[in-house]
Structure 1
């Protein structure tokens, strides 16, 4: 999928690829976190608080672009959590909004990336387990380009 997205970016350019109207339709960006053993409860709660605050991120026009953020603890009793402790679902109205949010390594030009999300990734990175610290999976509504 990453290769396909890079091909789309190369084909249309960063301004179009990150535009609000690029490939409209709901995108649910699912993120799971697994932490180093040394990470404290307080640090984990700060991760969730900082992630939730990304809901207020705005584009250069001052308008927010994230539809919603849901975040919380793993609470399944199925035994298939694979050690992930927190789950987050970020909902976007288009793939363009998702592309703007993701930024690097997908989009390298800072004019077309969310600086607040980039700062969050810098914060959370050292807290995550060395192997499989984050799992990211995007669910795109059927028939939505």
Structure 2
């Protein structure tokens, strides 16, 4: 399985819009700390959904963003309560969105997403992130 980015590539390369084109589905699952109430959980979804309009070079770069509560009756949700699927047009856009640790230089990552991660981090007991790339 190839690494998301080769270590010899610089951050400007791996966050470029055209780096590894093809749809990338960025799946994020949240499990909250016990003390996090319903109002805070709703605020997390509201703030996450707002990231769909986050600009890159003055224009939104997220292809789509879907977020909601876990509703599967299969009993295999692992205790995760909210799920989000963010779609990007390239691995470069995904890398720009993810930021640290992939792109720790603030000049090469989404400041809105970085602020969101600072907000949500203390509320979470666990997070799972899984990306699926569909090459162009």
Shift in Å, 1:16: 1.4
Could you say what the CA RMSD is over the residues aligned between the two structures, in angstroms? 1.4
Unaligned runs of 5+ in 2: none
- SS, match of residue 97 in structure 2: helix
The answer to whether the aligner puts 1:105 opposite 2:104 as a matched pair is no
Deviations along 1:14-39, whole A, 9 cap, x unmatched?
Answer: 11110111000000000000001110
The answer to whether the aligner puts 1:80 opposite 2:71 as a matched pair is no
Q: How many angstroms apart in 2 are the aligned matches of 1:24 and 1:46?
A: 32
User: Aligned runs of 1:1-145 on 2, under 5 Å?
Assistant: 4-5=3-4, 8=6, 10-59=7-56, 61-129=57-125, 133-141=126-134, 144=135
Deviations along 1:43-99, whole A, 9 cap, x unmatched?
Answer: 00000000000011111x201110010000000000001110000000000000000
Normalising by structure 2, report the TM-score.
Answer: 0.95
Q: How many pairs align?
A: 136
Shift in Å, 1:5: 3.1
Q: How many angstroms apart in 2 are the aligned matches of 1:20 and 1:5?
A: 15
Unaligned runs of 5+ in 1: none
- SS, match of residue 11 in structure 1: coil
Query: Which of the pair is proportionally richer in strand?
Result: 2
Shift in Å, 1:111: 0.5
Query: Which of the pair is proportionally richer in helix?
Result: 1
